[in-house]
């Protein structure tokens, strides 16, 4: 086969490849690296919390020890607080049947397990297709989608395996306590925040493009009018 034929074959192959699915693009590398690192950080810290943080109560284990997470799920045991930053930040093991920051927890573990698992799977699929359509210069969006996907998968693993999500970070201020959360919740919130930033940037970009289009349209109309002799051309007079 000649060199020209090889070039034609490569061109045809490239043309057949769906737009946006080029896995060698930087946006896909960012997506997989950030999402996987987020997932690892989430799962490692959850394993640490389940095995290291203290509990209280008379559990179903030998000599009344608490079996994690089962005894916490059934309210036989609970997580003891461990001060990290006194008066503000505590470690406290908790099993959350709901979504991020305890949302939907009152609906029960059986319902939320499947309902929120389907939402998590749908979210990950949605992030992949949004990344496919994203432009190479939308770097903030690339990071946002990666973080949301990593956080969603992190909580999805817990929900499928335990029917609940492991939470262990508690923030408080004086008498107010925020819902207990985990690393997956953090990266989800950061990811969503970055998505809003990208939306703002895209709105500004669209407004700028509209201004450019208006100026170009005005210039084109003026040029047509000049050629038609409807207006004087000062350049000809000079």
pLDDT tens profile 44-59: 999 999 999 999 999 9
Query: Which of the two residues, 227 and 70, has the higher pLDDT score?
Result: 70
How far apart, in whole angstroms, are the C-alpha atoms of residue 51 and residue 67?
A: 10
- 38-64: b (≥16 Cβ within 10 Å) or e: bbebbbebbeebbeebebeeebeeeee
Q: What is the pLDDT of residue 14?
A: 43
Residue whose entry in the numeric block shows the structure tokens 């990593």:
150
Q: Which residues pair with 82 in a beta bridge?
A: 91
Confidence of residue 210 (pLDDT cuts 50, 70, 90): confident
How far apart, in whole angstroms, are the C-alpha atoms of residue 139 and residue 144?
A: 9
Active site residue 185: yes
Q: Which of 42, 185, 213, 236 is catalytic?
A: 185
pTM of structure: 0.76
Poorest-pLDDT segment among 174-178, 201-205, 215-219: 215-219
Active site residue 236: no
Confidence of residue 235 (pLDDT cuts 50, 70, 90): low
- Which H helix or E strand runs over 136? none
Q: Which of 42, 71, 167, 198 is catalytic?
A: 167
Q: Which two tokens stand for residue 4?
A: 């020209």
């Amino acid at each position: 086969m000649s060199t020209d034929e090889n070039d034609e074959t490569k061109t045809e192959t490239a043309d057949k490849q769906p737009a946006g699915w080029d896995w060698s693009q930087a946006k896909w590398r960012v997506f997989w690296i950030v999402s996987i690192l987020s997932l690892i950080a989430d799962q490692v810290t959850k394993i640490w919390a389940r095995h290291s943080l203290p509990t209280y109560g008379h559990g179903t284990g030998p000599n009344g020890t608490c079996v994690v997470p089962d005894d916490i799920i059934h309210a036989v045991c609970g997580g003891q607080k461990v001060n990290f930053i006194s008066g503000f930040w505590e470690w406290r093991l908790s099993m959350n049947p709901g979504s991020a920051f305890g949302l939907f927890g009152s609906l029960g573990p059986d319902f939320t397990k499947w309902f929120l698992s389907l939402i998590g799977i749908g979210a990950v699929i949605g992030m992949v297709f949004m990344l496919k359509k994203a432009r190479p210069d939308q770097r903030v969006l690339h990071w946002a989608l990666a973080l949301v996907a990593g956080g969603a998968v992190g909580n999805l693993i817990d929900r499928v395996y335990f029917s609940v999500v492991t939470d262990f970070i508690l923030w408080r201020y004086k008498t107010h306590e925020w819902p207990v959360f985990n690393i997956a919740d953090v990266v989800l919130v950061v990811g969503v925040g970055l998505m809003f930033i990208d939306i703002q940037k895209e709105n500004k970009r669209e407004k700028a493009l509209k201004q450019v289009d208006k100026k170009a349209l005005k210039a084109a109309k003026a040029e047509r009018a000049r050629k038609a002799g409807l207006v004087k051309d000062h350049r000809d007079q000079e």
